[in-house]
A and B are shown apart, each in its own frame.
Chain A
Amino acid sequence: MIASIRSEWLKLRTTAVPWVLAVIAAAVTGLLIVTVFVNGGRGPAGGPGGGPDQRLGTGAVLHTTQQLRNLAGAGISADLFALLLGVLCVTTEFRHKTVTLSLLVNPHRPRMVAAKIVTTALLSIVLAVILLAVTVTGGGIALSAQGGSFTNLLHQVPAVAPGMIVVFALFGVLGVGVGSLITNQVAALIVCLGWFLIVEQIIQGIWNGTTRWLPTGAAAAAANVTRGRGVHVALFNWWEGSLLMLAYGLAFAFLGSAILMRRDVT
């Protein structure tokens, strides 16, 4: 398995995929930091687990624990990039037909999917750590400039880091699952973005109370490992949410593997 993971990582890093995703995710996180400051410490709008409204006047120094947590955990809003990493890890191989070679080396298809799941989960954790570093550095500099306390921000990292790591890893797993089910790259990307940006909003609008069962709701719950993102009565608790996310990811991966087993690679 370790050999397969190293091979998967080599395959990924010799494409633009992980680098482009990391750069865009870092840029998005940077923008969110700015948003946090402009909103005076309110969580980034739309991001899962946005904290309760604690709006201060614009330009006021962030100082409450919740404000600092929202700042430290701003990267969580870029969790969809872990999903994209998983999707691209699979669909790039189909797009360039390198899957033929991958299957010649390892003809056991579910094992190939499993290797991609583990690799993507690990890389997603690395992405979470990178984004944490971006928020701490960027947010820390901005905070210090306003006369806030960098140390206090640093102290909030242990509160938000576990949630981010869990959510990123789980989104990575889900991405591989979706990618192995929908191997066409463009179709898979459209389905993912369509689902998370449009369909989920519509479902939540029509059936109130479904939120906790949807992937975004489950992810938001999973992010609360340390209750670092505030408590949401409408959501599951963190481990329930994590299990639900994992169940989604594995369900797609199983379904994808089963269909892949029967698919002719021509």
Chain B
Amino acid sequence: MPAAIEVRGLCKQFGTVKAVVDLDFEVSSGRVTGFLGPNGSGKTTTLRILLGLVSSNAGVATFNGRRYLDLDDPVHHVGSVLEATSFHPTRRAEDHLKTVALAAGIPAGRVAETLELVGLSDVARRRVGKFSLGMRQRLQLATALLGDPEVLILDEPSNGLDPQGIQWLRSFIRHQASLGHAVLVSSHLLAEMEETVDDVVIVSQGRLVLQTTLLDLANRSGSSSGLRIRSPELDRLGSLLEGIPVAYRQVASDTLVIDRATPEWFGPFAAKNQIVLYEVTHERSSLEDVFLDLTQGYEAPVPGAPA
């Protein structure tokens, strides 16, 4: 059975800019997939190609094996929230949804239903031009949900949402996955997605860096933890460490870091050797550090930064 979303060998070039380079990944039903990468890494471009808005130079992007353009009733299969807001400012929220409902043959009652779902019922008759960023984002979500699609594509959906909004979005996304729907959510922050996603697709400069499960990513971060030790007896500690197979490095005149060590091992070791300690810190690298590590070196140069 084809994957809910499948991207194979996708390439896109804008003039001289290679926005997407030979990208491959899959998204499964019933799971939330985080599409992660720094600014300008080609996330939005990839999603727009998936949705038939941007043409690709090579490769395919399909939903259950069919291109978006070939879907009979696209909004009934795929709901999308895209980055650039597309609202007419004088149009009322309700009418905005009705334009889609009319064209897609969705019953009018569904409009009020989705407004309720995203918490916009009270402002249904207000003009979208007067909406805050977060309200627009909710309206975009309502638009995506109109056709009750089994695939959701969300490009940075938490943009402009307040903490409650983000919390609400998380549970919303989890709920969608629990219904068996496939959800692809882009973000440039892994931290924001940690509690939401099952799988991650990490891209940088348009290329796939890694596709894996969040669990696997978490294991990678656990394995790269270390101990930071401040002591007046660094010389003696250093010579003791030479005798055992651990990697360590001195980072300040009174501080060294031992890679992949745990306090459970180091505590007894220090006691046995009677080393004076001022401070021991267990440093776990966070998922965010792993993410930064993985996308490092690929990162686009920051404008104005010294070369």
Contact = CB atoms under 8 A, between A and B. Distances in A.
Are A and B interaction partners?
Answer: yes
Interface of A: 3-4, 6-7, 10-11, 14-16, 92, 96-108, 262, 264-266
A79 B288 CA distance: 62
Given A105-B74, A262-B55, A98 B87 contact: yes
Contacts of A97: 84-86
B98 interface: yes
A100 B88 CA distance: 12
B53 to A, nearest CB: 4
A26 to B, nearest CB: 21
B52 interface: yes
Contacts of B74: 104-105, 107
Contacts of B89: 96
A264 B88 contact: no
A contact face: mostly helix, strand, loop, or mixed: helix
A265 B54 contact: yes
B88 A15 contact: yes
7 contacts: A3-B105, A7-B99, A14-B88, A98-B87, A100-B84, A101-B143, A265-B54
Interface string B63-92: 000001101001100001010111111111
**CB-based closest 10 A-B pairs:** A7-B103, A7-B102, A97-B86, A265-B53, A14-B91, A264-B54, A100-B86, A107-B52, A14-B95, A105-B103
Interface of B: 14, 44-45, 48, 51-55, 68-69, 71, 74-75, 80, 82, 84-92, 95, 98-100, 102-105, 143
Given A7-B100, A98-B87, A264-B14, 11 more contacts: A14-B99, A98-B88, A101-B100, A102-B103, A104-B80, A105-B104, A107-B51, A107-B69, A264-B54, A265-B54, A266-B45
B52 A100 contact: no
A10 B95 CA distance: 8
Given A107-B74, A265-B48, A101 B102 contact: no
Contacts of A98: 86-88
A7 B105 CA distance: 10
Contacts of A6: 102-103
A38 B238 CA distance: 107
A106 to B, nearest CB: 6
B99 A266 contact: no
Contacts of A262: 55
A102 B75 CA distance: 11
Given A265-B53, A265-B54, A104 B102 contact: no
A15 B90 contact: yes
Contacts of B95: 10, 14
A28 B148 CA distance: 48
Contact of B86 (A4, A96, A108): A96
Contacts of A103: 52-53
A15 B87 CA distance: 11
A167 to B, nearest CB: 29
Contacts of B71: 107
A99 B86 contact: yes
A104 B85 CA distance: 13
A27 to B, nearest CB: 21
Contacts of A264: 14, 48, 53-55
